Every structure is written in C-alpha cells, then in structure tokens.
Structure 1
Amino acid sequence: MHPSQLQISDYTYELPDERIARYPLTERDLSKLLIYKEGAIESDVYRHLPQHLPATALLVFNNTKVIDARILFQKDTGSKIEIFCLEPAAGVELTQAMMSLEKVRWTCLVGGAGKWKQQFLEKELHTPKGNVLFRAEKINQQGGNFEIEFSWNNSWFTFAELLHFAGILPLPPYLQRQSEAADYDRYQTVYARYEGSVAAPTAGLHFTPKLLLKLQEKGIKHSFVTLHVGAGTFQPVKAATMQDHPMHREWIEVNAATIKELLEQLPKLVITVGTTSLRTIESLYWMGVKALLNSNATLEELEVQQWDAYDLPLQNASAKDALQALLGWLQQQNLEQIICHTQILIAPGYTVRIASAIITNFHQPNSTLLLLVAALIGDDWRKVYDYALKNDFRFLSYGDGSLLWTSESPSSLACNS
C-alpha cells in the first residue's frame, strides 16, 4: 500500500493525561529507556545507554537550538496579542533571517489577530546594550498564517539577539503550562548550537556531558546535523488518510564533512538521536538519489518532497552511491554544506536507507512521529507503547524514551550498488 492511503485511525492509542510528563526529571540521564530489538523489550535508564550500543556505532545528534519564538505585545487597552514565529518568509534562508539587522519578515501565527487594528504593534526593550523600539507590522495573510515584518531602531542588534529580550520560550501546547525559568535550560539539549527551532529535538534532552563522555570512552563516535524543528511537529493528522495531510517542511543544514562521516561509517551501525536526525540523514539519501538522476539539478530540485521516498525512480540505489552522488554534487557546486528544506514523510511502507536504530521519546497518537516509529518497527509499535503505558513510562517531550532497532537492517543497501 502506498503511504498516501494509510488511515491515521490505525495509528492511535489511549494516552491518559496523567502519563504526560509536564516537567523533566531532576537528572536528565535518569529518564527511563525502553530497549526494543527483534520483538524483545527490556527497560533501563539513559545513564546506562553505552551498555546497549556496540563500540563501532555512530550516533547522529541534531544540534539545533530552540528560539524564544513567542512574542507578546500589549495594547494600550491592556489586551495582549501573541505572535508565534514559525519560519522566515519565503525566499529568506533561516540563518540569514536570524542574523538580519533592522528588519526581517517571518511567517507567523497570531493569537488575538482580530484585536490588531493599528498598523504597528510596539514594545520597548531594555537591554544591557541599550533600549530598542521593537515593532511588528502585518504584511499579508494566507490561510491561518500571517507574514509579519519585524523592525527595530538599533542596528547593533541581530534579530536573534532581540528574540532573547522580546520573546518567550515556546513549550509544546500539550504541556498546558507557561514556560518557567528552569525550562530555558532543560528544554535545550546540552549540545544545542544553532538557533532556529520552535521545539526541542526532545530525544536529546536525556543526554548529559558525562553520558556523552562515557559513550566516547567506549569508542562510540558521534556526528551532528541540524534540523530546525517547526511547529508542524505538534500538529495531529486530522485527515482520514495521509493523502490529504500536508507534511510540514523544515530547514536542514548538513556539512559535507558530516556526509563523508556517514559514508565512511557504512555498513556499520548508524543510530539517530531523535526523529529529526533520522529525517535529516534519510533526506540526504533521497537528495543523493536525485543527484544520481540529474547531476545538474538545482538545490531547490534536490529538496525532498512529501512523497519522493515512494515515487522517485532508483528506489534500490545503495546508500553508498546516493551519498557519493550528493558529495559530488556539492563539489560541482563549490559548496561545503547543504542548506535547504525537507518535507520527507517516513511512514509504514518506507524502507530505512541509512539508520539502523533510533533513540526517541514516546509520541502523540495520530501523529506523523508515530507513523515514523511504525515505519521502523512495524506493528510492534503497539507492543512497545502498551509496554510503556503498563510500566509507568512518562510520555511526550519531557518524558522517557526508547532505543528502537529497525525491523530490517539497511546494511545491505549500504553495501550493494
């Protein structure tokens, strides 16, 4: 069956409200860890993760950093309008938008849009570098999203800097609470580096510097990719079948050196920390397939669309050939990194090309993230989630997690041309 025909009602379960972790544990690496392999399940804690991984493995982390994407403006009447920054307006690359001076346009959600009658919303920001008048102006509206132009009267500040003073950390809506001081530390991974996400890559929240050192001491290598998580990651699938659900697109940034590391690792194990890391490296495979099909493709043509993984020719291209083709394309373009969108949908019917396992939290019912888990371990996703519910695992962003080994190894695809 083509994944477009999947019925989302087949990928749901009952999640009691009390099982949603609204706060993290005091110690990150004491979160529980469910280990699934070849149908068997056991449990441990993240602190002991090195015991469950071979020394030859490569861990792939997403080093994105959550931005303070919620901006509150208060009108003279006292009413508040909230602007939630989703992504830069069309044609603006994310890093460029974050480094903008004086003005920048973003696609946003607006809470209380009906109360926004005047041309500008304004607020004065008091910072150690001086005061700044920060403005927001509606440019246009498309569907439920607005294009907002932000401007400020001090060219010493980048937009990224101003967000620290103007914005609020955006916690997931299902936590049903406002962000608190502790969240500014705990809702970031310890290796977060590049700002751009409106949600954390939560599988990485369990890692500590000490745990990373233990993994390194065992000989387990690590590599970093960047996928800036969008708000679409929280949107449940409301369509009856997947053909009517538009998969959200997100920015990825991957260096040529990282693609070489993945290539050199094959056919040994590649383990992704989080669904975002998995989507990123699997997107690299399909970009490589497109480069095999057309070595003169533009970067926009290489971007992975929702159904590419199921509809492109060369479905059996090896991971080795695809990654080599992508590196060749980068060299031809005199580029050292890939910066583009991906809209990849990983759902039952997908064959994993590079990853052998994933470390991930427990996801919402009726979500594309749950479809991804089902793609990796088949119908056993129900067995895994039933076990977690019956054994007091904590769910969602601040909850516990799992190490899931894929039902079929991609090693054969890695080796065979």
Structure 2
Amino acid sequence: MGKALAAGTQILVVLFAARVLAPDDANLLFSLLALSAILTAVASFGANGALVPFLYRHPDRILAILGLLLGGKMLVSLLGAVMIAWLGYAQNLPPLLIAWTAFSSALLFVDFIAESRGNADVDRISRIKFVVFGAGILLKIVFFYLSFTVLLLTLYAEWLVIWLFYFLPVWRTMPGQRLPGLGDIALLGKFLASSSWVWLSAVVSFGWTRAYFLILTADIGVGPANAYFVVVRLIEGFMLVPNTLAMRFFPDMVARQQAEDEAGLTELRRQFLRRAMQAALAIALAAPLMLAVLYGWGSGRPDHLVMSPLQALLVAFAAFVLIFRVALSREIILTGFLALSIISYLAGAIAGFSVYQLSGADDYEDALLGYAAFALASFVGPFLASPKRLHPFRHALFTILRPTPRASRKKGPSA
C-alpha cells in the first residue's frame, strides 16, 4: 500500500495537472518533471535495487555509503541543472528548482536501504510513506488552486520527510560508525562499476522518453505534447503491478537457478509470465479508457484531444509491451548479461525517433507511433542481440501462448 500510494500520487498530480492547469502551466510542470527525471536517472548511479544485497553484505558501513551516495546525488543534481540552464532547455525553469526536484526524487532509493535491513524496516517505512504521501496528495490538490510555485516546490518533497522520520531512529541504532573513508570510496566505486549497465539503461530509457517530450513540445505544440507526457506517466505508474508480481516470484526463481533446479525454474518462469501477461492485458485495456475519460471531457477545448480509435490502439499496444517487458527485465538479470538492458533501450530510442520522423513529426498520432515503436524495439532488441541466452524465456512464452489440449476423460463403468 505504501508503494501504491507513492506511485499513485505522482500519477494523480499529472492527471490533475492535465485537467485543471492551463496548457502552458501544465507544460511547465511536465517540463520540470521531465528534466528532473533525466537528472534523477543520471544520479541513480545504477544503485537502486542493487543496493539491497550490497548493503546486506556490509551492514556496518550503511551510513558511510549513504553519505557518499547522497553527496554524489546532490552534486549531479546541481551540475546537471546548471548544464540544462546553460543549454537553454529549461523553458524558464529556475536551475535551482530543477536541482531541488531532481535531488528530492532521487531520494526514493531509501526503499532499498530499508529492504537491506530486513522486513521490520520495510514495514516501518511503508507505514511512514502511507501517512506522508496520503497527506501530501491532499496538500498538492490545495496547491493546484492556491499556489503553482509551492506546487512545484513540493512535487517530491515527501521523500525528504520520509528520510527524516526513517533515519532519525536508524541513526540512534548505529553508534560508532565513522565518516566515509578511502576504503568506503573504493568499496562503493567497485559496486557502482558492477552496476554500470543498469545505470546506463536507466539513463537511456528516461533520457529518451523525457527528451522526446521536450522535442514534441517544440514540434507539435503544447497540448499534444502534454497528452503524450500523460500517456508515458500513466503507463510507468502501472508498472507497479508487474513489479509487485516480480517481488513475489523473482526471489524463488533466483534460488532455483542457484540450486540448478531447471524444472522448478521453468515452472516458476511460466507462472510469472502468465500472470505478467494477464496484468499487461488488463492495463492495455485500462490505459486508453482512462485517457479517453480525461481528454473526452475536454472535447470543447482546443488544448485537449479526443482520442481516435487508432490512437487508443497505439496506447494499448505500448502499454501491453512495456508492462510485459518487466518480465523480460527480470530474465535479463537471471542471465547475468546486463548489457542486454542498454541494448534494449538504445534500440527502442533509435527506432522510436526514426519512426516519429518518418511518419511526419507533425501531430499527436506521430508521437504515439514513435512511442509504440520504442516499446516494440526495446522488447525485441534483446532477443535479436542474444537469442541463445533468452531461449528459456522465449520457450516459456511460446508454451503459455500455445493452447494446451485437454486430456480426454475416460468414462468409467456405470454404477
């Protein structure tokens, strides 16, 4: 519930902005979210989910490692905001506001710190998030009507409050931990080098989708570009569902792989793929319906769009592929060949922008075509790059797609 409320808060902010704010104000807010997301991806250092086993192996260095990571995130956020302002892409957004938003959103890695300390910490931080994000969304709704400036300042401010309430008790339970030293720097550097492929793939994925939004704003106008941004954030918000499924299946899949239990791993893989496909189908139906309701209400306004059947189909296709791709991401981790992740998103970015340009690059439908191409290429790319490594995944996928013949029932003797 804590994760659902955290993800849902950001979706509600985007949907509410699309309905309530003037197009230029909504575009300003979306530009801030886009630019800060790029900086957040850069400042993640690939050290989010991978932190769990790393900190578990070094429990006595948690505070020292966190100090180094926080310092790096602050520095990247500030330098990145200055670079954006210098390049002129900020659309009149103050650089310090970009840096503040990027740094605040980068603090969400506190989830993985809690996981590394055990279930008690996960439960405690979930309770904190439930209260903080619940109060935060109410405040944001008020700010929509009272102060746009304060709304921008509080977009990700909940994470600072969560850190405060989570780490004060943690700090008291870790007496005697010294400040980071050269050994900690070397230890962290070795870890970040091992997670560099994950980091690069996140930078490419977020960098393309957000940079694409900024390009669309210049090419096809504020209203259609805003509509594209809503599509992206809606689909990304729905990724909570397959990620939750992965939390249920993936640890057991890793354990079966380490035990060399191929039969058990294959069965778990099939179960996970079947559930992930069901979730992807449901979300593929839900996303266009939500967008139709959102923009259908604005049919009399020139800045709102009414979705055509083709546009709804493109949204449904992109949603299905990107939601189901979460299962492929877990398979890439199982193979240990993390370079497939960067190959996937690079292929998607190149295909998406190419299709957008070839289709004309002048309206909302072209933008959705590019996004659908991004989804398809990012899913197919790893299979083309390494078919042998992904053969078990492909085989399991074909198995669940192929109808299983029902066994004939033998009639027993009548009583």
TM class by shorter chain equals: under 0.3
- The higher relative CO (CA closer than 8 Å, separation ≥ 6) is in 1
Structure with larger Rg: 2
| Structure with a larger share of its residues in helix | 2
TM-score of the superposition, structure 2-length normalised? 0.25
| Structure with a larger share of its residues in strand | 1
TM-score of the superposition, structure 1-length normalised? 0.25
